[in-house]
Amino acid sequence: MASIKSLPFVIETKAESSVLLHSENSRRLRFPFFTHRRWRAGEVSLISGSASGCSQAVGLCSGQISSCTKGQLWRVKPVRAIRKVSGEGVEDKGESEDALQATIEKSKKVLAMQRDLLQQIAERRKLVSSITSSTVEDQEEVDSFEQEDSFSDVESSSGGGNGTIEEQNDSIASSTYGHSTAEKELETVPSAVSRSFSEIEKKHEETVPLNKAPYEAESTKHVNKTSAKSEWSDSLPSFISTTVETSSLKDEEEHVDLKEPSLQEVNVGATDPTIEDVKPPPLAGPNVMNIILVAAECAPWSKTGGLGDVAGALPKALARRGHRVMVVAPRYGNYAEPQDLGVRKGYKVDGQHMEVAYFHSYIDGVDFVFIDSPMFRHMENNIYGGKREDILKRMVLFCKAAVEAPWHVPCGGICYGDGNLAFIANDWHTALLPVYLKAYYRDNGLMLYTRSILVIHNIAHQGRGPVSDFSFIDLPQHYLDLFKLYDPVGGEHFNIFAAGLKTADRVVTVSHGYAWEVKTAEGGWGLHGIINENHWKLSGIVNGIDNKDWNPQYDVFLRSDGYTNYSLETLETGKPQCKAALQKELSLPIREDVPLIGFIGRLDPQKGVDLIAQAIPWMMEQDVQLVMLGTGRPDLEQMLREFEHQYRGKVRGWVGFSVETAHRITAGVDILLMPSRFEPCGLNQLYAMNYGTVPVVHAVGGLRDTVHPFNPYEESGLGWTFDSADTGKLIHALGNCIYTYREYKQSWVGIQRRGMMQDLSWDNAAQKYEEVVVAAKYQW
């Protein structure tokens, strides 16, 4: 069998996971997806895809591919030129030349890609040096920030006993904007995307002995990294070593083997003679990172509100940009897709050993990982319910297990590792994650290159309790000050959100308006002081919407019971059909001309349900219909039932949580009412606009950012807004809306169409999250 020779061997994976590479001496090598590397002739003979990972691997080479030696592997698809070399017949000569030509074309593309990559590297170097020079100029500002920084104040007020935290502050002072660190980081970025092929080659010459296959060094590094954990364990402080490993690395390796493709799959890959085009680099370019979003709920598996939607959709948009993305959520029920990975770990919660299992499912480019424990099981309808201590213990276990997910969970066969990694924690439930990352690991020299971003979806919920709650979270005493907060309402208390905000590398909130509001005494709910002290960390990024789930064109809930899918083109027939179907389903009179008003949301003072209640007498004097869907505070639920009872012909009050009904209301109503007292972002108004439903909103937070008021003179705007939480103002805005609906049909349709034409997808927001993640990465 002839050996591989001449042309470079280029392997590209599709957007999934990883490729396993087998050298002739059967060493198995791995590399992450989205890498483009070159092997020299003779160095590589086989390539295979891991079962849930790589969907296709393509090899370009001339020469004979040696046969598979072990396992069930994909053989590299030989290009026709290979046949020529192996001398299979002269009749192949013409074909072979074609194939050679094709190979040359491919090589040209590869070279073009190299040029692109070099260009990106040059830009990145420029960026780093511009950061450096602006940093030097800003040094005075930095110094003054350090003086003002209350984080240091908090630490020093702890009696000066925390040398570690102080040291960290020192290091922030000396190297946050440090040139050398940023450049070093740049040089050590593992992905070949950020390096030219020649650089990679040079590196190999330096590090790989000639008798070794390329990337053995890479592979060894991986193994070392993983085994480094166990070396660390011996020297870890006692609060970390509570982790009990019940499955060994060997188990994980075995697990990986199990996931290799069957022969059948192998053959499918092997019979396709087409060689795919070289894939363009990911949108994120050299900024490709490993990102792990951690949330207490994740749609469609678990959802009580907007957080679930965000956790289900933002990661997919980040993955579309090329990042390797994992979501970690508790496993509340027996979900169909996620499979037990066989990994078991133990964590201490309130002195008790708790074992968790990791379940995994790879969907739309994202690794969804669910943490299984008796503590979470069957809690899907009561995620934040139960005694305060019990909720706290659940979150402690969840955060402890989530922060180690990159070490233990072999997604597609390979763990994420803790380099080039950023966690995105969400709300107080996971605000312990940045604290644990710091206290357990970074303060002990571990996970030094891992960053944490904390997202505020709603600052009104903070994980407050008495100071004695500190005993549940299993941290050394000197971290207590991070959690202590004094305010006139609660006095001195324990506050998890406060600690998360102080320790996260960056903080994001879900709109620009809300980013401003949380700094005020009214909007910060007692945390405004901490937010102002850390204002440099804060960004506002408006949520997007999942354009597959919340799109009238594809909405699965509009496919039966008289509803219909519709688009901008079919708005004028599709939406009335949905309205009629909704009226029928709710047993309201089926009338196209009557304005149908909707409300969907948690029955909570935040959502301004009381304002609707006060406006009901006025509304009932109008010729309108009203449907309200919600669940929450028992008195407000009762109120909904009473409205329905009192105004049977006009009002429906649906008490309960029904995703299907929420979709159908969004499609079927003409107007969506959102009189929220505060609204960090709000998703329902975004969904409404995407469905040609006109929002009437209180102009706060994200509602003000996203609903531009209708201007009849310019025929612009997307809905109606009112500027204070006042029933009179709500009535005024709703009155104008109804009047326009009745009298100015053309203007109305214009508002609907403008709403539907917006790009509300997550892609814009994902790009901004990426900027935050990258800023955190280079922050020291």
Ligand X SMILES: Nc1ncnc2c1ncn2[C@@H]1O[C@H](COP(=O)(O)OP(=O)(O)O[C@H]2O[C@H](CO)[C@@H](O)[C@H](O)[C@H]2O)[C@@H](O)[C@H]1O
CA angle, corner 82, sides to 80 and 88, nearest 5?
A: 90
- Residue from 8, 71, 305, 342 binding ligand X (CB under 6 A): 305
Nearest-approach distance from CB 294 to ligand X, in angstroms = 15
Query: Interacting stretch for ligand X, rule CB under 6 A, among 63-71, 616-624, 653-661, 712-720?
Result: 653-661
Among 15, 95, 26, 106, which Cα is nearest to 61's?
106
Q: Which of 368, 360, 359 is nearest to 315 (CA)?
A: 368
Among 682, 695, 717, 755, binds ligand X (CB under 6 A): 682
Q: How many CB atoms lie within 10 A of CB 443?
A: 18
Q: Which stretch binds ligand X (CB under 6 A): 34-42, 202-210, 490-498, 676-684?
A: 676-684
SS in 3 state form for 93-107? HHHHHHHHHHHHHHH
Q: Which is nearer to ligand X, 135 or 658 (CB)?
A: 658
DSSP 431: T
φ, ψ for residue 154, nearest 5 deg: -60, -45
The nearer residue to ligand X, 168 or 666, going by C-beta atoms, is 666
Q: x/- string (CB under 6 A) for ligand X, residues 699-738?
A: ---x------------------------------------
Span near ligand X by CB under 6 A; candidates 467-475, 597-605, 728-736, 740-748: 597-605
Q: Are strands 491-495 and 464-465 parallel, antiparallel or unpaired?
A: antiparallel
By the rule CB under 6 A, 630 interacts with ligand X: yes
Stretch that binds ligand X, among 195-203, 368-376, 488-496, 682-690 (CB under 6 A): 682-690
Is there a contact between 319 and 282 (Cβ–Cβ < 8 Å)? no
Q: How many residues bind ligand X (CB under 6 A)?
A: 26
357 binds ligand X (CB under 6 A): no
Residue 633 sits in the site that holds ligand X (CB under 6 A): no
Q: Which is nearer to ligand X, 67 or 758 (CB)?
A: 758
Residue 259 binds to ligand X (criterion: CB under 6 A): no
Round to whole Å and give the CA distance between 562 and 582: 8
Which phi and psi angles does 470 have, rounded to 5°? -55, -30
Minimum CB distance to ligand X, residue 458 (Å): 4
Q: Whose CA is closest to 404, among 463, 345, 350, 362?
A: 345
Phi-psi region at 26: left, alpha or beta (left = phi > 0; alpha = psi -120 to 50): left
Q: Does 516 bind ligand X (CB under 6 A)?
A: no
* Residue where the block lists tokens 């004028």: 572
In angstroms, rounded to a whole number, what is the distance separating the alpha carbons of residues 139 and 548? 47
Give whichever of 684 and 693 is closer to ligand X, judged by the CB atom.
Answer: 684
Q: Min. distance of Cβ 514 from ligand X in angstroms? A: 8
SS3 446: coil
Residue 145 or residue 657: which is nearer to ligand X going by CB?
657
Chain-centroid distance of CA 181 in Å reads 27
**Cis-peptide, bond into residue 78, ω within 30° of zero:** no
Q: Shortest Cβ distance from residue 441 to ligand X (Å)? A: 28
Partnered with residue 767 across adjacent β-strands are none
629 touches ligand X by CB under 6 A: yes
Residues numbered 228-247 forming contacts with ligand X, rule: CB under 6 A:
none
Among 59, 500, 601, 675, binds ligand X (CB under 6 A): 601
Q: Which is nearer to ligand X, 245 or 763 (CB)?
A: 763
Q: How far is the CB of 333 from ligand X (least distance, A)?
A: 17
Query: What letter would DSSP give residue 545?
Result: B
Amino acid at 581: A
Tell me which stretch binds ligand X (CB under 6 A): 150-158, 275-283, 619-627, 674-682. Answer: 674-682
Which of 44, 683 has the CB closer to ligand X?
Answer: 683
Identity of the residue, 47 or 296, whose beta carbon is nearer to ligand X in the bound complex: 296
Token duo for residue 498: 């406060």
Least Å distance, CB 504 to ligand X, is 16
Residue number closest to ligand X, CB atom:
305
User: By three-state DSSP, how is residue 527 classified?
Assistant: coil
In whole angstroms, the minimum distance from the beta carbon of 52 to ligand X comes to: 29
Is residue 548 near ligand X by the rule CB under 6 A?
no
Q: Does 662 bind ligand X (CB under 6 A)?
A: yes
User: What is the rounded CA–CA span in Å between residue 83 and residue 62?
Assistant: 9
- Phi, psi (5° rounding) for residue 760? -100, 10
- Can residue 695 be called a binding residue for ligand X (CB under 6 A)? no
Helix 571-585 and helix 745-757, axial crossing angle in degrees, nearest 10: 100
8 A C-beta contact, residue 629 and residue 658: yes
Cα–Cα distance measured from residue 367 to residue 356, given in angstroms and rounded to the nearest whole number: 18
Instruction: Please give the order of strands across the beta sheet that includes 4-13.
Output: 37-39, 4-13, 57-63
The structure tokens listed for 749 are 């349709």
CA 331 to chain centre: 17
Residue placing its CB nearer to ligand X in the complex, 71 or 605:
605
Nearer to ligand X (CB atom), residue 57 or residue 504: 504
What's the closest the beta carbon of residue 680 comes to ligand X, in angstroms? 4
**Per rule CB under 6 A, is residue 602 in the interface with ligand X?**
yes
Distance (Å) of CA 312 to CA 122, 295, 396, 559: 35, 10, 22, 22
Options 297, 309, 404, 644; binder of ligand X; rule CB under 6 A: 309
Which part of the chain contacts ligand X (CB under 6 A), choosing from 227-235, 253-261, 432-440, 627-635? 627-635
Per-residue tokens: 733: 């805005």
H helix or E strand, kind and range, residue 237: none
Amino acid, res. 706: T
Instruction: Provide the minimum distance between the beta carbon of 101 and ligand X in the complex, in angstroms, as a whole number.
Output: 53
Choose between 322 and 682: whose C-beta lies nearer to ligand X: 682
Contacting residue, 261, 269, 286, 306, with ligand X by CB under 6 A: 306
Minimum CB separation of residue 84 from ligand X in Å reads 59
Residue 609 CB, nearest approach to ligand X (Å): 11
Closest to 625 (Cα-Cα) out of 649, 647, 650 = 650
Check binding of 524 to ligand X (CB under 6 A): no
Binding to ligand X by residue 194, rule CB under 6 A? Answer: no
Binding ligand X (rule: CB under 6 A), the pick from 543, 625, 690, 706 is: 543
CB distance 423 to 452 below 8 Å: yes
Q: Are strands 366-372 and 352-363 parallel, antiparallel or unpaired?
A: antiparallel
Q: Please give the Cα distance from 770 to 370 (Å, whole number).
A: 24
Regarding 458 and contact with ligand X (CB under 6 A), the answer is: yes
> Of 417 and 719, which has the nearer Cβ to ligand X?
719
What is the C-alpha to C-alpha distance for residues 558 and 581, in angstroms, rounded to an integer?
Answer: 10
Q: Residue 666: which H helix or E strand, with range?
A: helix 659-668
When asked if residue 510 is in the footprint of ligand X (CB under 6 A), the reply is yes
Applying CB under 6 A, among 43, 252, 474, 679 the residue interacting with ligand X is 679
Q: For ligand X, which is the closer residue by CB, 502 or 607?
A: 607
The residue among 284 and 636 lying less far from ligand X, judged by its C-beta, is 636
Contact residues for ligand X, defined by CB under 6 A? 305-307, 309-310, 457-458, 510, 543, 600-602, 629-631, 657-659, 662, 679-684, 702
